[in-house]
Amino acid sequence: MSNEYFPHDYGARLSLRGVRKDFGLEGVGVYWCIVEILHEEGGYIKENDIDNIAFDLQAKPEMCQAIINNYDLFVNKKGKIYSERVLKNIKKREEITIARKKAAEERWKTRSSDTPESETPHPCLPINRDDKGSEESDTDDKFAEKVQWFRDILKQKCQEIADSYNNAFELLGDPCFSLEEYLNNVIDEIANKRTLTINHRNIDTIDFLQQLVYFFKDKETMNDLYNVIMEVQEKAKKGEVKNKQNYLISTIWNQGKMTFNG
């Protein structure tokens, strides 16, 4: 799922009656494709690009010209085509981005003033080893308890981040990126595996979870985790990834090794 979107009002089809009458649902589809392109291009497209857009959409240029010029859905001024609603959406998105950035900076500023970054505590799982110093004797119940412990810690961290963005979310009123959902999916994938095969090596699952927690150390490492997830999402959308979850797990581990050991 893309992390960029725009509102689609209930009843929007009612304002497209003329388009539906003249071109059917094909015309409605072309209209929404043009709206998407406007959002992608920052709110404006050039009039002389309409033929290229029609070619990309596999639609007749005459239909695209008519939808743009004949139904008061778009403004065509001095060779530029735009929509007041799209410009409003883009402005709102920019305001939200600024609000999120400010909220995050304030949160990290407060956290830094309370605890120096070098002294920021990292949650570590208390591990009870046997006399031989090995975890091999862990029962299934103990392993499940450890996995649940990390799940709870990550849930708490995600909630702290969500709380810091509350004001920005209220401005938007639409679904936003859910870090907790992605991490829960990762944990579900590995919850019954004592070891993970990454880069042709066996990695202890608990070590992987511990490294995952480390990404919540500060703003920069949090951005590393976010960027990794978004990168995998984009590759999956393009069909470049066969098993998204396994690829995400490997990418998170590799990024962690670079971030914390590089």
Q: Cα(215)–Cα(226) distance, rounded to whole angstroms?
A: 9
Query: Which of 103, 238, 221, 217 lies closest to 162, judged by CA?
Result: 103
Express each pLDDT in 196-245 by its tens digit: 998 888 999 999 999 999 888 887 888 888 888 888 888 888 888 888 88
Place of tokens 């939200």: 96
- At 79-102, the pLDDT tens digits run 899 998 888 888 887 777 677 667
Query: Which residues, other chains included, contact 102 with Cβ-Cβ below 8 Å and sequence gap of 6+?
Result: none
